[in-house]
Amino acid sequence: MPSNPCPRSPRRRRRAALGSLAAVLAAGLVPLATVATAPGAATAASAPQADRRLPYQDPRLSTAARVDDLLGRMTLAEKVGQMTQAERADIDADPAQITEYGLGSVLSGGGSVPDPNTPEAWADMVDRYQRAALDTRLGIPLIYGVDSVHGHGNLQGATVFPHNIGLGATRDPRLVERIAHITAEETRATGPQWAFAPCVCVARDDRWGRTYESFGETPELVIRMETAIDGLQGRPGQLDRPDRVLATAKHFAGDGLTSYDESKAGTGAYPIDQGVDQVSREEYADLALAPYWPAVQEHHVGSVMPSFSSVDWTEDGLGNPVKMHGNHELITDVLKGEMGFDGIVVSDWQGLRQLPGTYADQVETSVNAGVDMFMEPYSGSSTGYPQFTETLTQLVQDGRVSHARIDDAVSRILTAKFELGLFEHPMTDRRFIDQVGSTAHHRVARRAAAESQVLLRNEHRTLPLRSSQDVYVAGSNADNIGNQAGGWTLTWQGGSTNVIPGTTILDGIESAASGDVTFSEDASEPVPAGAAGVVVVGETPYAEGFGDVGGPQWAYDPGDHGVARPAKTMQLSEADTRAVETVCAEAASCTVLVVSGRPMEISPDLLGQIDALVASWLPGSEGSGVVDVLFGRQPFTGRLPVTWPRTVEQEPINVGDADYDPLYPYGFGLRTHGHAHR
């Protein structure tokens, strides 16, 4: 097995036998007749008197005792239901399906939102589903999951923070924890109690469409930023608070380590996302598994999501890759065994369906590999959660999945629900709902945007700009809040037309400058004499494999499932390049900001025309934070979280490589007046 790259710490809490039903009965907490005959549908809203409560309904007992008691009362159908997660679109028209199938969880995929998309509507929606769950025989509450990856991004009005790559540039773990805490507060105040975040992958090839979801290219940096888990969950024992949610370390393990498949580039397939890790066991342990040891043992993350990727440890890398959703060795032996993870392993979106064989084979393999809860959206006659529950039930009856494996999975799910306080307080605690998108939260987003800026070039001490200067602003990303927010914002893929509360970079410049500000996106308007030029260029939004360089030339959109988009590259568009050339030729000084989810190729000729170059990443809702460092209100302190290549052909390029010759090395960043720091 891979060596342990991190020292182990004592395993936390729970699964020790702290109590049992027999002990409870012996203590006289509930009469035996009550246990044998009472219906199990009591809820916090309609609980019987304390002396009539069933043991699992008694908050005075330990979590282990409550889980043990409740598990002993459940039928196979109820257990399988707890292992099943549906998507809100599947059940919104008829929440009684939650009751019928005894569903353990519901999620919102990217862009799957109530109408209207407001905090109150979210809370009402989740509570409506929760009432359906409480109508089941045992009244087991629902847990609701959402991709709060840079704020509660699905919600219109939520505070949207920089994506992880920008947070990695800050090198500020305390700030990351604060951001995650705000995210947890805004998420739970509107209903969901489970965040599918943070991504603790180590991005080793910037052609990957999920590079911006990584904190950086080294395990050390990613591990430093795992304070995000603490921000989401709080310290052990705080999960039941109304400003905390269950966190998810993803994607286990090695999604940032996949090999680029040149044969797929331009074919409409994903050249790198969901691909294969073709590495040695030692390299896999160092780069893929390393972040999970502290995530589990120090930060006590409550759930882990397997990757869509595969791992191939054969010597020549051409053997038999094993998909993570079916990898018993890594999920059960390493994660649950060696690391001591005792939380929930939750599948990614229909992840088991990428395994070989029939659907029954896929379910059998994934459950036996150690996955506990299954994200099986779509309730059609032959797909989705109805098919999953029927198939898993039959597999247990046929002896292909053991009752012990089912009990282990359900115990983990119930434990999380007890620790979240859902049995006592199943409905949304809305005390912080007025804080969603608050001024105080936007101040933190603005600070994060400022700290994430990395100054790469500053000839002639161009930056900071003087507020008294006239400023000429150009470029596709100067006045586009959808572009600066990136993917996972309002919709799965994000969008240039997605508008959220906040400020664009142009807004920030207009507020900071006392001189005249001229904006011309394509730089077609004349540049005033003596004006400082600021050109904001970069990428348009994407998520997952649609962002792979050379990947699919279309993307999913909730309103029109196939939307044509150009294949992604790491090069500036022709329009942005022309804008840079025009402004740099005519303005008194030329500052270029690159708003993107990864480094972009800057040719030597173009770089030679640029006075100041800034990596702005995806700064989120507060373009004013970018402007704070541009005008010297705050110093530049950001450092590159990934290596900036000279050309795309250098990818993959990472610190420590032989013949390492990037345009800007990992960790590089200039102070405001041109002094490098590391």
For residues 543 and 268, is the Cβ–Cβ distance under 8 A? no
Q: Residue 248 carries which side chain, given as an amino acid letter?
A: T
Whether the ω angle into residue 528 lies within 30 degrees of 0, i.e. cis, is no
Answer whether 532's CB lies under 8 Å from 470's CB: yes
**For 339-480, where are the alpha helices, taking DSSP H only?**
359-369, 384-397, 403-419, 439-452
Is the peptide bond between 652 and the residue preceding it cis, with omega within 30 degrees of 0? yes
CB 569, CB 599: distance < 8 Å:
no
- Three-point CA angle 70, 76, 80, nearest 5°: 90
**Which member of 68, 544, 576, 651 is catalytic?**
544
**Strand-pair category, 532-538 with 589-595:** parallel
Active site residue 329: no
DSSP E strands, 45-180? 84-87, 105-108, 143-146
Using DSSP bridges, classify how beta strands 471-474 and 303-306 pair: parallel, antiparallel or unpaired.
unpaired
Residues 202, 218 contacting (CB under 8 angstroms)? yes
Catalytic residue among 348, 372, 479, 651: 348
Residue 96 neighbours by CB distance under 10 Å: 11
Which residue is associated with the tokens 């059940």? 91
Residues 138 and 70: their CA atoms lie apart, in Å, by 8
Provide the 10 A C-beta neighbour count for residue 345.
25
- Retrieve residue 303's tokens: 């759930």
Residue pair 572/596 in contact (Cβ under 8 Å)? The answer is: no
Rounded Cα distance between 497 and 495, Å, is 5
Our answer to whether residue 185 is catalytic in this structure is no
The span from the CA of 672 to the CA of 630, in Å, is 9
DSSP 527-545: PPTTPEEEEEEEPPP--GG
Nearest one of 445, 541, 543 to 196, comparing CA atoms: 543
Active site residues: 348, 544
